[in-house]
A = this chain, B = another copy of it.
Amino acid sequence: MIRFDSDYMAGAHPEVMEALVRTNLELTAGYGNDPYTSEARELIRKATGNADAEVMFLVGGTQTNATVIDGLLARHEGVLAAESGHIAVHESGAIEASRHKVLTLPHHEGKVKAEDVECYIAEFYADETYQHMVAPGMLYISQPTEYGTIYSLEELAALSEVCHNHNIPLYVDGARLGYALAAEDADFTLEALSRLADVFYIGGTKVGTLFGEAVVVNNRSLLKNLFPLVKQHGALLAKGRLLGVQFATLFGDGLYERIGAHGVRLAMRIRKAFAKAGYEPIINSTTNQQFFQLPNTLIDSLRREASFDYWGPRGTTESTVRFVTSWSTTDEDVDRLERLLDKERRRE
């Protein structure tokens, strides 16, 4: 069985695992007060070009979003996000559980437009009853989005500008950031992102680590007292150095880039394989998630040897499905998928 269900099916990239094994018996202080965490912090500061950034390591994406958003918002504020955004849909109400409303914007293949943000804010304050409504207090976007699409540098700059014109921070969820950076059409860099976003996080769980997300706070005045906030959100890892060891490995020797490039290359091979079989992707994703509308008969045949997820409910005759790659996907996996698709084509 070849598996394309998600990018968190394996453990850690072998180099990361090796580092964990190598350091396993060392004794260090807890909660991130260890040399590996310091090293990882410095490597990320260097990679993002911001020597003054606060860098904090958390375990998972939902807790990272809940903690950062809770820290950035005032009591009466909510967070603007695409209606397809992870925080709006798939976090079991974690944002509301820390008392904040998610204010939704229309999405365009998962992306938010600067003009929609501008318009939301303008209409909000034009309404005489605005003090009875939840004020837009920050903007959340994902890079890449939940649909695998990426914001161009120009789009990021426009979003950053509209946010800063209105004095609200821009926060970027980078759960799969490595795959966005590696996309062929990516014209942004980690440095650029760091200049434009007040806070963002570099995802590890889906890009090579066992777990872990690195929050980068570029605008430190916006998010003070992060340590007790992280602890309060239950997001502080006792053996914090595990996060340090993993991120130091990712950022020490170009591994983060290599993983991103690998995942994207294989996703593009999958895209071509389906195109050859007559199925263009339904969303123009240039990252490690690919979405296709396939006949149910084809889905059923493929599923005998390959696993992948439905994207939404199964339709009557055809359905949308998602194929995901990661560092753990191999060229052999895609070769096998190609052969399966060829076999199906010949059968028709």
Using a CB–CB cutoff of 8 Å, the interface residues on chain A facing chain B are 3, 5-6, 8-12, 14, 17, 20-21, 23-30, 59-64, 66-67, 70-71, 74-76, 78, 89-94, 96-102, 123, 126-129, 131-135, 205-206, 210-211, 224-225, 227-229, 231-239, 242, 309-310, 312-313, 328
Contacts and interface: CB of A to CB of B under 8 A. Distances in A.
A62 B24 contact: no
The number of times this chain is found in the oligomer is: 4
B59 A78 contact: no
Contact of A134 (B92, B128, B211): B92
Q: Is the interface of A mostly helix, strand, loop or mixed?
A: loop
Nearest to A130: B228
Contacts of A101: 93, 96, 102
B242 A94 contact: no
Nearest to A58: B234
Nearest to A16: B24
17 contacts: A8-B239, A59-B59, A60-B236, A64-B234, A66-B234, A74-B224, A76-B92, A76-B228, A78-B93, A91-B132, A91-B232, A92-B228, A96-B99, A96-B101, A97-B232, A132-B231, A211-B239
